[in-house]
Amino acid sequence: MTKDKRITAYNKYGGHCAYCGREIGLTDMQIDHIIPQRLLNSIDRQHIDQAENLNPACKRCNHYKRAHPLEFFRTMLKTLHKRVMDIYICKVAEDYGIIKVEPWDGKFYFERVVGDGRFRG
């Protein structure tokens, strides 16, 4: 990945992770391929590193998404609250008001903002 492509991806959402929206530094940013590399055939491989297929991601989001398509990642996150609440200690923490686990609305940060990181409103 060239330095120019990394900078372009980083600036795509104003220095924020395209998925969770956390601010990330350029050196901490990872590049996510929106359409994973493993899913592209030999014809499409020439487009794999084009800006339209690259999103800036924090390490946590990039690790959790892995090489999955975007909609699979969305489904994993939309059902995460149920899996978290299957963990006994999380149930205890919720009972004591330490945590509040709620379903996620299904919208990624990049779907809520314009390209420069400003909220659409």
Q: pTM for the complete prediction?
A: 0.86
Residues 79 and 63 in one domain: no
Question: What are the tens digits of pLDDT across the range 20-77?
Answer: 999 999 999 999 999 888 777 655 666 788 899 999 999 999 999 999 999 999 999 9
pLDDT at 99 over 60: yes
- Determine the structural domain holding residue 63 and report its residue range: 1-67
C-alpha angle 82-72-56 in degrees, rounded to nearest 5? 105
Residues 8 and 62 in one domain: yes
Structure tokens at 72: 């699979």
Residues 80 and 39 in one domain: no
pLDDT at 80 over 50: yes
Residues 76 and 25 in one domain: no
Residues 100 and 57 in one domain: no
The reply to whether 12 falls in a domain is: yes
Residues 21 and 51 in one domain: yes
The reply to whether 88 falls in a domain is: yes
Cβ 8 vs Cβ 51: under 8 Å: yes
